A and B are shown apart, each in its own frame.
Chain A
Amino acid sequence: MDRRLSDRLHPLRNPLSSEAEAFRFLVVVIVGALLIAGAAKLDVYAGVAAAVAAVAGIAWYLRH
């Protein structure tokens, strides 16, 4: 079987592969949400910037 695509995708963490993994992902999202809420308290645009940073951070988490 040609597994080239599967092997290339392998480094990406699947946050739904198990309940424990989904829970870990939820905790990461909560941390990101706290950062966004804190920044949005100061200014809406700071909140948007924090949201972009949080999405990047979550993407990094899924890659590692």
Chain B
Amino acid sequence: MAAHAHAEHHEHHGPPAPHYSSRVPPGVLGMFLFIGTEIMLFGSFFTAYFFVRVVNGTPWPTPPFHLPVFVAFVNTCILVTSSFTMHWALQSIKRGNVWGLRAGLLLTFLMGLTFLVTQGREYSRVGFAPKDGGFATIFYCLTGLHGAHVFVGLSILLFMTIRAFRGHFSAEHHHGVEIGGIYWHFVDVMWIVVYLTVYIL
């Protein structure tokens, strides 16, 4: 027993193994805290929306402007579908299906890109600018803030897709996809909230 402990002591090099007090792995905890700050950021924009629309009583949308509800609905369907392909990608690699991962990530990236391009096109056709009153400002702030998050998500997806095609992920090692997937689902949930408040209610 003593000889075994002595041998183990001699085999160990470098600093001692870290002690984690949290039940959540550090990488996931980091993403969790990051998303917590993001929720607070979106919360400040939704507070501004509440004041403009409810407290000030600004008509929504302010005449003569109209919101492109149908285009936004199609865009919502695209983004929601991209979360399903993201989930499929991760489930594939968990089963060791590398091509399923690659196809899922590529589809997710393309759908996210379609969402962003459609939103940019919508901005150019919507007929009002951020300077056209409280309604227009809040519309651009909320949808623009979300668009920025989609851009960040696309950047993460691009790296994940490149790594997937280089064979960096396997059934045992796919933590990078897991973290990116959590972020992508968060972006999707935030869009559903933005879509409901800005376009539907």
Q: Of the candidates B28, B83, B201, which one forms a contact with A51 in the assembled complex, judged by CB atoms under 8 Å apart?
A: B201
Range class of the B interface residue count: 20 to 34
Q: How far is the CA of A48 from the CA of B53 in the complex (A)?
A: 13
Against A, the Cβ 8 Å flags (1 = close, 0 = not) of B163-180 are 000000000000001100
- Residues on A lying within 8 angstroms of B by beta carbon are 1, 14, 16-20, 22-23, 25-26, 29-30, 33, 36-37, 40, 44, 47-48, 51
Docked-complex contact B201 and A29, CB < 8 angstroms: no
Residues from chain A with a CB closer than 8 A to the CB of B90 are 19-20
Query: B200 in the interface, Cβ–Cβ < 8 Å?
Result: yes
Docked-complex contact A33 and B192, CB < 8 angstroms: yes
Docked-complex contact A16 and B181, CB < 8 angstroms: no
What secondary structure prevails in chain A residues at the interface with B?
A: helix
Residues from chain B with a CB closer than 8 A to the CB of A40 are 196, 200-201
Q: Which 3 A-B pairs have the closest CB atoms?
A: A19-B181, A22-B185, A23-B87
Closest to A32 in B: B192
Docked-complex contact B31 and A23, CB < 8 angstroms: no
Q: Of the candidates B28, B80, B201, which one forms a contact with A30 in the assembled complex, judged by CB atoms under 8 Å apart?
A: B80
Against A, the Cβ 8 Å flags (1 = close, 0 = not) of B15-26 are 000000100100
Given the known inter-chain contacts A1-B21, A33-B196, A37-B200, please indicate yes or no for A16 contacting B35, CB distance below 8 A.
Answer: yes
Q: Of the candidates A1, A16, A48, A51, which one forms a contact with B182 in the assembled complex, judged by CB atoms under 8 Å apart?
A: A16
Q: How far is the CA of A8 from the CA of B169 in the complex (A)?
A: 37
Chain B, 72-101, CB within 8 A of any chain A CB = 80, 83, 86-87, 90
Residues from chain B with a CB closer than 8 A to the CB of A30 are 80, 192
Q: Could you write out 27 A-B pairs with CB less than 8 Å apart? A: A1-B21, A14-B24, A14-B32, A16-B28, A16-B31, A16-B186, A17-B28, A18-B28, A18-B178, A19-B90, A19-B181, A20-B87, A22-B186, A23-B86, A25-B189, A26-B80, A26-B189, A29-B189, A30-B80, A33-B196, A36-B196, A36-B200, A37-B200, A40-B201, A44-B201, A51-B196, A51-B201
